[in-house]
Chain A
Amino acid sequence: MEIVKPLAQYLAALALAPLLPGVINRVKAFFAGRRGQPVLQLYYDLYKLSRKTPVYSRTATWVFRAGPAASLAALLAALLVLPFAGRSAPFSFDGDFVLLIYLLGLARFATVLAALDTGSAFEGMGASREMQFAVFAEPAFFLGLTALARAGGHASLAGMFGALTPGIWRVAAPVLALLTASFFIVLLAENSRVPADDPNTHLELTMIHEVMVLDHSGPDLACILYGAALKLWLFASLIACVVLPRRTGSWATDSALFLLAVLGTAAAVGVVESVMARLRLLKVPYMLITAFAFSALALIFQMSR
């Protein structure tokens, strides 16, 4: 049973991740006074795309074809170390969050190289911005996780989230609040949401992630969309683990509460997207530096506690 549970949690994450973009879209539709697309839209899209025949550019090489699959594989591997409801992941060891960060890096590496392989000016532009924002987002994310390691006294994700109790929220609320804010900003930037990027604009000079995947089609595009959903799930569940440290002890209740928190995070993304405008591209680094400052403050508070 102890082997089955982490595996079941992993499969549940894989199955539920495409729900999050649907939730975000419904929240945005609610704010706009529309009915919006079905919550399960991404599932339909993935099914449709998987049956289509892809079109490849004459410029592109094997790098373009391998990119989406490699990126998806890296994200699937990253989910292997991700705790579910604060409980152990299938892979859990000291320093596993470093592996998580570098697997996200591998996914980015593959996506960006595939974008550059098309020789398109627009995709090059998106690739350049993606790498630029990563330079600011990665230290912020890393420092936040370091602060969490310090707060819990453990160097593994499962350890640090397991050590988070409601008691810690009571005595170290500023630390955890700052961390939540920092992770949320990183989530917005890493998942190309407003205010860092706008997933709704198409064919504009201002896009980042969407413009990098303009040339992908068929199963490759399905890989990318699914990978994006997994990445959103990954960050949302980290936030859910921080804000919801209560453990009832019952596997089912904990999991249900955790799922609610993940969906709530997605809804929060939808709210932010509805009430905020996109930042100018030049301002995005400042937003990420703010996230870095939040992480650093959290670490300083924690170290002096």
Chain B
Amino acid sequence: MPLVLSSILILLAGAALALLLRAHPSRAQAAGVWSAAAASAAGLFAAARVLLTGRPEAFSAAWNVPLGSLTFSLDPLAAFFLVPVFLLSGLAAVYGAGYLKAYAGRKPLGLAWAAFNLLTASMAVVFTAANAVLFMTGWELMAASSFLLVLFEHEKPQARRAGFIYLAAGGAGALMLLAFFSLLAPASGPLDFASFRGLSGGAAAAAFLLALTGFGLKAGFIPLHVWLPEAHPAAPSHVSAVMSGVMIKTGVYGLVRALSFLKPWPEWWGWTVLALGAASCLGGALFALAQHELKRVLAYSSIENVGIILLALGLGMTGSAHGADALAALAFAGALLHVLNHSLFKGLLFMGAGSVLHGAGTAELEALGGLAKRMPSTALLFLAGSAAACALPPFNGFAGEFLIYLGSFRSVTATGPAALAGVLAGLALASAGALAAAAFVRAGGTAFLGEPRAARTAAAHEAGAAMLAPMYVLAALCLAAGLAAPLLLGPAAAAAAAAFGAPLGAAAALDASGPLLWVSGSGLALLALAAAVAAARRYCLGGRKPAEAGTWDCGYAAPSPRMQYGASSFSQPLTDFFQPLLRKLGQYPVISEYFPARASFSTEAQAVFYNSFYMPAAARIRDLAYRFSWLQHGRLQIYILYIVVTLMGLLLWKL
């Protein structure tokens, strides 16, 4: 425990130092990066030790905040979530050192690094806090520091809009969580997690729904996702990597913790979570297919992956409600393993998108193309990350999803309603996988392959070593975590056991280690076969030099880059098919003459939920609020009167 606390203190000190040195951007940056790297090393060591030994650590001290206490606890569940936090934020800091260089002199780098370190520190507090007040302090600090980072490029109206949506979503979520914790509060004493009272009946259901919405607003599953595709792309890319890779997992963690307080779960809870997860993984993949900007594609893919995690949690809860503990254990272990895997490949992908933004000046898919020639390393790493995100073997994405599939088959061959849950979960996962593959082939293919679609992208340059090195590390980890998945099963099962009790954790390790060993064996076989095919190809070539020619365009004499398939044309058959859901806007030219004049065509992906649900709801609320506008006089005296009356009221109530 002292190690984690000291790494939090190092991060806070680094943040303060970066803020103090803000007049010297390069020194402020050095302070930020080095403190983040040191804190990550210490924190990773501490988390790994708890995971390997399985012995939880704790720290407690009094705190003079009402109901609060400085109670920290590092059990395997917290440690399992802390590993990606420290891993990704350390690597992102190194990446950021290269990425933010371009902004030196234009942007307050000292403030940015202070906010980044504060964000990491507050996430560490959220995962280790064992007191509700301490947890909410970390939670709100996390929201505030990431809000600052979303507004990094505040001169862009899009970023400002994203910032305000983000703020509103964060505020709403925090209100739900305050209500949730007050439901669980003991009769007296600090709000320590250990002293929470058990709930049952309607109170438990209310607490569950509050936790689901409150934590869901941070996790960003559909329909609580509207802020995510706005805020994540707006932040600088290394921050997007941290936000998408680990920050949304605080919502998942919160939900898992909340569920651990509320056991046993009625069946409908499981079905609710399962349905939300299915909607989120299908919807996220589908919306990703319609986006025109690389970072927005990745943001929607995060929604899909949170959906997969939620789907697995829901499957496990449904199974547990029917006494199928073996099935539940597999699903929970799969969910946790996917938390780790997603943070690795999503971090890699956002850094890759950042390199594109940095090297080509834009991440608009329709302007990109042919970057594999100018940015060979980034192309390789991004495509590897895409393969991991599509859960293709031998990368890590497959291992977590495989466990969830295995859980769903355990239930398929069983009887009762759990079988239906298994079938639906497996089907949603398979369909989302096919959609995600289309989305990633489209994004990676249009950005990196073919010919450049705009002049400025033709002059793109490769990222520097500080940006490439963390990406290589993450790509290697994606491959290693795929091949060494059986080794990760133990920690994931231990984390599940720490949350939900031994029967829902340990059984998974016994049940799934055999198939997982086969999976990593076939991953190795795949690599060996690839090497064999490559060797055979080399032997066939026999040292002959391949000839070069232009692309065969079916006899057309002068193909131009504009004749390539673009991002929107690639996905057009699918987006047309799902148009009732996507509601993309398009302007199509009408050709009426024999020799048509110059025409233009455009499509735009809509934020369907934002436009069709949240905006009308907000307008309705605003109209309601206007009815109370007589309360607002704009006179200071009257406001002071309100405050005095409220305080008097509170005093009377307390007496």
Which A residues contact B (CB, under 8 angstroms)?
50-51, 53-63, 69-70, 72-74, 76-77, 80-81, 91, 93-96, 98-99, 101-103, 105-106, 108-109, 112-113, 116-125, 127-129, 131-132, 134-135, 138-139, 142-143, 146, 149-150, 153-155, 203, 214-215, 218-220, 222-223, 285, 299, 303
Instruction: Write out the residue numbers on chain A whose beta carbons fall within 8 Å of the beta carbon of B569.
Output: 124, 128
Judge whether B552 and A57 touch: CB under 8 Å.
Answer: yes
Judge whether A219 and B431 touch: CB under 8 Å.
Answer: no
With both beta carbons as reference points, the residue of chain A lying nearest to B450 in the complex is identified as A119
Judge whether B441 and A109 touch: CB under 8 Å.
Answer: yes
Instruction: Write out the residue numbers on chain A whose beta carbons fall within 8 Å of the beta carbon of B572.
Output: 128
With both beta carbons as reference points, the residue of chain A lying nearest to B565 in the complex is identified as A124
Q: Which of A91, A113, A118, A149 contacts B413 (CB 8 A)?
A: A149
Instruction: Write out the residue numbers on chain B whose beta carbons fall within 8 Å of the beta carbon of A120.
Output: 551-553, 559, 564
B346 vs chain A, min Cβ distance (A) = 18
Instruction: Write out the residue numbers on chain B whose beta carbons fall within 8 Å of the beta carbon of A122.
Output: 553-554
Judge whether A70 and B530 touch: CB under 8 Å.
Answer: yes
With both beta carbons as reference points, the residue of chain B lying nearest to A117 in the complex is identified as B449
Judge whether B554 and A51 touch: CB under 8 Å.
Answer: no
Instruction: Return 13 A-B CB contacts under 8 Å, by A number.
Output: A53-B545, A53-B547, A56-B549, A58-B548, A94-B409, A99-B398, A106-B393, A109-B437, A119-B559, A131-B441, A132-B573, A143-B427, A150-B419
Q: Which of B423, B545, B549, B555 contacts A203 (CB 8 A)?
A: B555
Residues facing A in B348-406 (CB within 8 A) are 369-370, 372-373, 376, 379, 383, 387, 390-393, 398, 401-402, 405-406
Judge whether A95 and B438 touch: CB under 8 Å.
Answer: no
With both beta carbons as reference points, the residue of chain B lying nearest to A154 in the complex is identified as B413
Q: Which of A101, A135, A150, A223 contacts B435 (CB 8 A)?
A: A135
With both beta carbons as reference points, the residue of chain A lying nearest to B562 in the complex is identified as A121
Instruction: Write out the residue numbers on chain A whose beta carbons fall within 8 Å of the beta carbon of B525.
Output: 77, 80, 91
Q: Which 8 A-B pairs have the closest CB atoms?
A: A124-B565, A119-B450, A116-B445, A73-B530, A93-B518, A142-B430, A131-B438, A155-B409
Judge whether B551 and A118 touch: CB under 8 Å.
Answer: yes
B325 at interface by CB-CB < 8 Å: no
Which of B398, B434, B444, B572 has the most C-beta atoms of chain A within 10 angstroms of its own C-beta? B434
A113-B383, A127-B565, A127-B570 given; A139·B434 CB < 8 A: yes
Determine chain A's interface SS by DSSP, over half rule. Answer: helix
A139 CA / B434 CA spacing, docked (Å) = 8
Judge whether A128 and B573 touch: CB under 8 Å.
Answer: yes
| Seed contacts A57-B548, A109-B387; 15 additional CB < 8 Å A-B pairs | A51-B540, A53-B546, A61-B373, A77-B522, A93-B514, A103-B393, A109-B392, A112-B441, A118-B552, A120-B553, A124-B570, A131-B437, A134-B437, A135-B431, A135-B435
B272 at interface by CB-CB < 8 Å: no
Q: Which of B387, B392, B446, B451 contacts A59 (CB 8 A)?
A: B451
Judge whether B565 and A125 touch: CB under 8 Å.
Answer: yes
Instruction: Write out the residue numbers on chain A whose beta carbons fall within 8 Å of the beta carbon of B427.
Output: 139, 142-143, 146
- Binary interface profile of B, 502-539, with partner A (CB < 8 Å = 1, else 0)? 00000000000011001101100110011011101100
Judge whether B549 and A116 touch: CB under 8 Å.
Answer: no
A214 CA / B435 CA spacing, docked (Å) = 25
Judge whether A116 and B449 touch: CB under 8 Å.
Answer: yes
Which B residues contact A (CB, under 8 angstroms)?
369-370, 372-373, 376, 379, 383, 387, 390-393, 398, 401-402, 405-406, 409-410, 412-413, 419-420, 423, 426-427, 430-431, 433-435, 437-438, 441-442, 444-446, 448-451, 514-515, 518-519, 521-522, 525-526, 529-530, 532-534, 536-537, 540-541, 544-555, 559, 561, 563-565, 569-574, 577
Instruction: Write out the residue numbers on chain A whose beta carbons fall within 8 Å of the beta carbon of B522.
Output: 77, 80-81, 91, 99
Instruction: Write out the residue numbers on chain B whose beta carbons fall within 8 Å of the beta carbon of A94.
Output: 406, 409, 514-515
A142-B426, A155-B409 given; A53·B544 CB < 8 A: yes
A125 CA / B573 CA spacing, docked (Å) = 10
B599 vs chain A, min Cβ distance (A) = 18
A91-B522, A113-B383, A122-B553 given; A135·B412 CB < 8 A: no
With both beta carbons as reference points, the residue of chain A lying nearest to B437 in the complex is identified as A105
B373 vs chain A, min Cβ distance (A) = 6
A270 CA / B552 CA spacing, docked (Å) = 30
A275 CA / B550 CA spacing, docked (Å) = 39
Judge whether B390 and A57 touch: CB under 8 Å.
Answer: no
Judge whether B563 and A121 touch: CB under 8 Å.
Answer: yes
B16 vs chain A, min Cβ distance (A) = 46
A113 CA / B449 CA spacing, docked (Å) = 8
Judge whether A149 and B409 touch: CB under 8 Å.
Answer: yes
Which of A53, A74, A120 has the most C-beta atoms of chain B within 10 angstroms of its own C-beta? A120
Judge whether A155 and B406 touch: CB under 8 Å.
Answer: yes
Instruction: Write out the residue numbers on chain A whose beta carbons fall within 8 Å of the beta carbon of B570.
Output: 124, 127-128, 131
A54-B546, A101-B430, A121-B553 given; A116·B392 CB < 8 A: no
Q: Which of A55, A118, A127, A138 contacts B441 (CB 8 A)?
A: A127
Instruction: Write out the residue numbers on chain A whose beta carbons fall within 8 Å of the beta carbon of B376.
Output: 61-62
B243 vs chain A, min Cβ distance (A) = 27
Instruction: Write out the residue numbers on chain A whose beta carbons fall within 8 Å of the beta carbon of B444.
Output: 113
Give the number of residue pairs across the A-B interface with Cβ within 8 Å.
Answer: 249
Judge whether A77 and B526 touch: CB under 8 Å.
Answer: yes
Judge whether A61 and B430 touch: CB under 8 Å.
Answer: no
A139 CA / B281 CA spacing, docked (Å) = 14
Judge whether B413 and A54 touch: CB under 8 Å.
Answer: no
Judge whether B533 and A55 touch: CB under 8 Å.
Answer: no
Judge whether A113 and B445 touch: CB under 8 Å.
Answer: yes
Which of B387, B446, B559, B570 has the most C-beta atoms of chain A within 10 angstroms of its own C-beta? B570
Instruction: Write out the residue numbers on chain B whose beta carbons fall within 8 Å of the beta carbon of A93.
Output: 514-515, 518-519
Instruction: Write out the residue numbers on chain B whose beta carbons fall within 8 Å of the beta carbon of A95.
Output: 402, 405-406, 409, 515
Instruction: Write out the residue numbers on chain B whose beta carbons fall within 8 Å of the beta carbon of A149.
Output: 409, 412-413
Q: Which of A117, A127, A139, A299 contacts B431 (CB 8 A)?
A: A139
Judge whether A61 and B574 touch: CB under 8 Å.
Answer: no
Judge whether B549 and A58 touch: CB under 8 Å.
Answer: yes
B45 vs chain A, min Cβ distance (A) = 34
Judge whether B383 and A63 touch: CB under 8 Å.
Answer: yes
A73 CA / B512 CA spacing, docked (Å) = 26
Judge whether A55 and B548 touch: CB under 8 Å.
Answer: yes
Instruction: Write out the residue numbers on chain B whose beta carbons fall within 8 Å of the beta carbon of A135.
Output: 431, 434-435, 438, 574
B448 vs chain A, min Cβ distance (A) = 8
Judge whether B526 and A54 touch: CB under 8 Å.
Answer: no
With both beta carbons as reference points, the residue of chain A lying nearest to B410 in the complex is identified as A155
A113 CA / B379 CA spacing, docked (Å) = 12
Judge whether A69 and B533 touch: CB under 8 Å.
Answer: yes
Judge whether A56 and B529 touch: CB under 8 Å.
Answer: no
Instruction: Write out the residue numbers on chain B whose beta carbons fall within 8 Å of the beta carbon of A77.
Output: 393, 522, 525-526, 529
A99 CA / B430 CA spacing, docked (Å) = 12
With both beta carbons as reference points, the residue of chain A lying nearest to B518 in the complex is identified as A93
Q: Which of B393, B445, B565 contacts A102 (CB 8 A)?
A: B393
With both beta carbons as reference points, the residue of chain B lying nearest to A121 in the complex is identified as B563
A189 CA / B445 CA spacing, docked (Å) = 23
Judge whether B537 and A146 touch: CB under 8 Å.
Answer: no
A109 CA / B427 CA spacing, docked (Å) = 20
Judge whether B431 and A59 touch: CB under 8 Å.
Answer: no
A214 CA / B556 CA spacing, docked (Å) = 14
Q: Which of B390, B529, B532, B571 contacts A109 (CB 8 A)?
A: B390
Judge whether A56 and B533 touch: CB under 8 Å.
Answer: no
With both beta carbons as reference points, the residue of chain B lying nearest to A107 in the complex is identified as B392
Judge whether B442 and A131 touch: CB under 8 Å.
Answer: yes
Instruction: Write out the residue numbers on chain B whose beta carbons fall within 8 Å of the beta carbon of A117.
Output: 372, 445, 449-450
Instruction: Write out the residue numbers on chain A whose beta carbons fall within 8 Å of the beta carbon of B529.
Output: 73, 76-77
